[in-house]
Structure 1
Amino acid sequence: MDLFDSESFDDRGVPACDADAPLAVRMRPTSLDEVVGQGHLLGEGAPLRRLLTPSSRDGVAVSSVVLWGPPGTGKTTLAYLIARASGRHFVELSAVSSGVGDVRSVVQAARRRIASGDEETVLFVDEVHRFSKAQQDSLLPAVENRWVVLVAATTENPSFSVISPLLSRSLLLTLRPLESDAIEELIRRALTDERGLGGRFGIEDEAVAGLVRLAGADARKSLTLLEAAAGVADDRGERLITVAGVEAAANSALVRWGRDQHYDVASAFIKSMRGSDVDASLHYLARMIEAGEDPRFIARRIMIAASEEVGMAAPEVLSTCVAAAQGVASIGMPEARLLLAQAVVAVATAPKSNATYLAIDRAIADVRAGRGGAVPEHLRDAHYRGADMLGHGNGYLYAHDHPHHVAAQQYMPDDLQGVQYYAPTDNGHEAMLTKRLAMIRNLLKKR
């Protein structure tokens, strides 16, 4: 059971940490003044500001909260500050290693504290999206009855990763990616703060810019890289962190992949293939590969794009993508990257048409709207005794016995006659289909 409770807080009201703890842990903000970014949540009158103001604890109920944002934007820090400001008992669970039994144990302890007149419990669940539906369900009674104040953190869209009943009982707060100025402020603070590097190292402005660029919007990553760069300088007997030191540190640092990027990068990947930008498509493919994304997931998205974005404008592309997916399953990484890249190039450079996609959605819309009467009798199954007595199959015209192998007869139900779902474009193979389909529809009208 991965538990952390308020008995492990230091005198600043945040979790105690050793002097050799990672720099990002040592530099965790201990007050609102140290929090950078998130002005939309921390401005005067904002919901999170009220939760974090100590004077608001008396007579004011603290709502359960779901904190959604990219990695390194301060979700865990805000959870600690909420517990500290509200004066409540603090317990932390990691959804990675905890189960329903752990949740029940915390809730039972929280109920005992309330019954004995002690303070309420703030339960912080990190990476709540990793909890199954059953595990999230186990939190509902505690939240609804206010046995605990839940603070849940997630990097994935709560609409998909958190059950609706839990969301409806919590305040959803979205943390935004940190701006470059905020990341630079954190880096320079860590250089001088006694909790950090304590002024033992200087740094080149170009090195700061490099750290900001490499970290993106992730505060934790910026401090991890800074600590690694300081280690490189120390190993060299230097007291100045240089661009070369940052580059060396970045080469040895682990590549991190925030699960929020799973959706954003996949979305950009699909839209780049749709937009025929082959270079952008390959860029996002590379990002997913380097992040360790499941190559089978990537292959599935490419197959879908081959049908949804290309369709009959270049029907052979789907065969290429299916073959690539089968090869990925057989070969595995890293060689499978070649198959994925070939499929991506095929989709991105192919003529585009979403006519098939629109056609099936139009047909489904009619079915859902209740349109579509009885199947015409001459099209019904006639392969059983007595079917002919019911008129099934009577008058059916076998298409291959007619010119152009097109039999002019009624195929649609009575209430949908004349409806056309498929409208091919003039792109690629569909240009030929446009002419052929016009001829076919003219022949069908001559019945």
Structure 2
Amino acid sequence: MTISGMRRRSRWLRHLLATGAALAILATAACGGSAGDQEPGAAPVTDQPVQLAVAWWGGPARADLTQKVLDLYTQKHPNVTFTTQWQGYAGYYDKINTSAAGRNAPDLIQIDNRVLREYANKELIADLTPWQGSTLKVDKIDPKLLGTGKLDDKLYAVPLASNTQALAVDRTVVEPLGLLPPETGWASWDEFGAWAAKVTQGTGGKVSGVRDESANISFFEYWLRQNGKELYDGQKPGFTTQDVTAWLELWAGLRTSGAASSAEVAQPANAGDISKNTVVTKQTAASFSYDNQLTELNKATDHDLVLVPIPGATSGAYARPSQFFTAYGRGENVGTAVDVINFFVNDPEAGAILGTERGLPPNDDVSAALVPTFTDELKYVAAYDDRITAQAGDTPPVPAQGDNQMGQLLIAAAENAGFGRQTPQEAAAEFVSQATAELERASS
């Protein structure tokens, strides 16, 4: 084995040990069942003081808006107060897992679908089904969107907001070239590749048509769905080595034609930092985005950006939860925590405060009331979201346990292929092998 190969193996072993320790923590937290002091379906406490801990990730703007909604809840329910903890995404779940090991996790936990199956199976989060229809009203949430928080027909998490997939395209760059795409996008990947190559040519190579998105697990999932597959088949990968090879070769071809940026340009944005998005840095004319991120992207650039669907069939799209709120399964006041969740998604005043910072409101009535008050930019985002989700495919199954590691594994494979350290076939084979092992380990 080469020295570089030994280093990769060492990093991989350290990764397995670290993630194994995290799962051991969750397993410890699950021992003894998940029932809190309240019976399932119990009403919120109103006759004695209640203090609930709330955790979420995000920036200062999200923290400010979330705190305002919590303050409003306290104003309407004076017996309930809150302590809060928020931070960036990196390390967030490590902190949740550690607190769960001490049986002291926050009463309300913001999660994404990457950990939903794992947390439900480990009984870290409560089954919310007993509260559905009483304390928790979900009839104004699109069933497809609500279904993303269900596992085995039990509701474990309620979407705080929704969004869908898009390409953010720099109108300022492409319109003078006569290359502004129609709002319906490109009928095929070949058509898209030809467009992106023309953009690169038209700018004299100063701006590439599209960022190399081969490391983007969400984009890969979309492409799989266009090809009749899902990211997961139960607790196994839903893709083969041949599928991953085809994906990596697709992007290799786009790089070779000049349509896509080099791996060197793409790499800084692979971790998902929006400030390093290559449309913001003006290195490419297009990059993957979720529609609700348009506002933040526009704030970071003086160029005009538009949303365009992913190339090819919109069967790859789906209405996805940007985040969920869940209740800690061992909480002493689960019924009250559920009532707070209900307040976040159904109260019109709460909806007006939250706006679209997390995404579009999940409650149809709240959304309809808010849209007339939106800026033109937000109305544009809402219209895009409505148009794409109306054409979207079925809601994918809840991600497998271990999903939160898949993104990092794909980044490693894509960068190995993009920088020429491995062929697409070699990188694909290693990715599938590691992904399979990780999913098996996560469920053991």
Fold equivalence (TM over 0.5): no
Q: Tell me: higher relative CO, structure 1 or 2? Use CA pairs within 8 A at least 6 residues apart.
A: 2
Q: TM-score, normalised by structure 1?
A: 0.23
Relative to its length, the structure with more helix (as a share) is 1
Larger Rg: 1
